[in-house]
Amino acid sequence: MAFIDYYKTLGLAKSASQDDIKKAYRKLARKYHPDLNPNDKEAHNMFQQINEANEVLTDPAKRKKYDEYGEHWKNADQYEQAKRSGGGGGNPFGDTGSKPFDGFSGADFGGGGDYSDFFESLFGNAGPGQQRGSRKYKGQDYQAELRISLHDAYTTHKQTLTVNGKQLRITIPAGIANGQVIKLGGQGAPGAGGGPNGDLYITFNISDDPRFKRLNNDLYAVVELDLYTAVLGGEVTADTFDGKVKLKVAAGTQNNTKVRLKNKGFPLYKKEGEHGSLYITYTVKIPADLTERQKALFSELQKLS
């Protein structure tokens, strides 16, 4: 798989602050969200890359490893351990004082090798004195898709899925997005020669809901008003994921009027207690099959106006 520069993916410099990363992620996530690009495979791939970049760069520990080791950041712990035990031969750059892989530029090690050669000799291919049969290979990664309802995505819950005949019980955090990918380390195919297992990548497919439309962390719904409530004012009942709520309707409410219910939208992913907003659009229903008396009263109103 080609190396993906997470900073470039989000359109940022390496010096970007956490606020810069969050703003860039939100902007791009809105642009490439699968709900807005339902049949665009390229947008779907970009959305996955954006999520991956955000997951790494918003985690201080992961970001530190990524900044130091570039595309090999996932092997940083192994490299550090090997270096401490003498297997890494010290700084692969000699005494230049440079950080390994800083800038992801493919500098050499003084012997004509590059980063990949170094890591392969350390973790994948046989090193000096080793037999070929002792090579360690990581197992194949698995890909799976899990379809859930919007209601399920609203709450943190456990679900069981079967991958290659093996049952896994996973916890799905509230606020998971359509098209989002979650990695389960070590749940892929077994490694070879004592190598680590592969990983499992689960893509979530969230079904449409008949009552609500979701856009990022906000929800949108339509509530019907009868003509008399729209003209005279009153109350109307609306559905939310937390149950029903009563809304006050101002006299003279127009068709397609929108109201915002703060904190009644979708939960923010892995941010307990935080929610988006629920936007209600009122549609005024014009009465049909009026009685003669009702028609006469409307005629009187028309004359008065």
Output the pLDDT for position 119: 47
Output the pLDDT for position 97: 35
Q: What is the CATH number of domain 213-304?
A: 2.60.260.20
Residues 6+ apart with CB under 8 A from 72: 79, 101, 115, 116, 119
Q: Are 61 and 80 spatial neighbours (Cβ–Cβ below 8 Å)?
A: no
CA distances (Å), origin 43, targets 6, 37, 50, 55, 288: 16, 7, 10, 18, 46
Output the pLDDT for position 85: 60
Output the pLDDT for position 287: 84
Q: What's the distance, CA 17 to chain centroid?
A: 20
pLDDT over 60 (residue 93): no
36 or 173, greater pLDDT: 173
pLDDT confidence tier of residue 152, bands split at 50, 70 and 90: very high
Q: Give φ, ψ of 19 to 5 degrees.
A: -65, -40
Q: Which two tokens stand for residue 98?
A: 């440079």
Residues 6+ apart with CB under 8 A from 68: 76, 99, 100, 101, 102
pLDDT confidence tier of residue 84, bands split at 50, 70 and 90: low
CATH 3.40.630.30 fits 142-206, yes or no: no
Which is nearest to 50 in space by CA: 173, 146, 179? 179
Half-sphere exposure at residue 34, Cβ-oriented, CA atoms within 13 angstroms:
19
Q: Are 218 and 265 spatial neighbours (Cβ–Cβ below 8 Å)?
A: yes
Q: Are 73 and 118 spatial neighbours (Cβ–Cβ below 8 Å)?
A: no
Longest dimension (CA), the chain: 103
Output the pLDDT for position 3: 65
pLDDT confidence tier of residue 115, bands split at 50, 70 and 90: very low
pLDDT confidence tier of residue 21, bands split at 50, 70 and 90: very high
CA distance 76 to 177: 29
Q: What is the mean pLDDT of residues 92-104?
A: 35
pLDDT over 70 (residue 114): no
CA distance 160 to 173: 14
Average pLDDT, the chain: 80
Output the pLDDT for position 150: 94
Percent of the chain past pLDDT 90, that is, above it, reads 42
**113-122 — which CB contacts under 8 Å span 24+ positions?**
115/70, 115/71, 115/72, 116/72, 118/92, 119/72, 119/75, 119/79, 122/75, 122/78, 122/79, 122/82, 122/87, 122/88
Output the pLDDT for position 91: 41
Per-residue pLDDT reduced to its tens digit, 59-76: 998 898 888 887 777 777
CA distance 164 to 75: 26
pLDDT over 90 (residue 279): yes
pLDDT confidence tier of residue 258, bands split at 50, 70 and 90: very high
H/E run at residue 7: helix 6-9
pLDDT confidence tier of residue 209, bands split at 50, 70 and 90: very high
pLDDT over 50 (residue 131): no
Which is nearest to 264 in space by CA: 274, 252, 250, 256? 274
What's the start-to-end Cα distance of the chain, in Å?
71
Q: Which two tokens stand for residue 147?
A: 């379809």
Output the pLDDT for position 290: 81
Per-residue pLDDT reduced to its tens digit, 212-238: 999 999 999 999 999 889 989 999 999
Q: What is the mean pLDDT of residues 285-297?
A: 84
Whether the predicted model's global pTM rises above the 0.85 cut: no
pLDDT confidence tier of residue 117, bands split at 50, 70 and 90: very low
Q: What is the CATH number of domain 6-134?
A: 1.10.287.110
Shared fold status for 142-206 and 213-304: yes
Domain ranges of the chain: 6-134, 142-206, 213-304
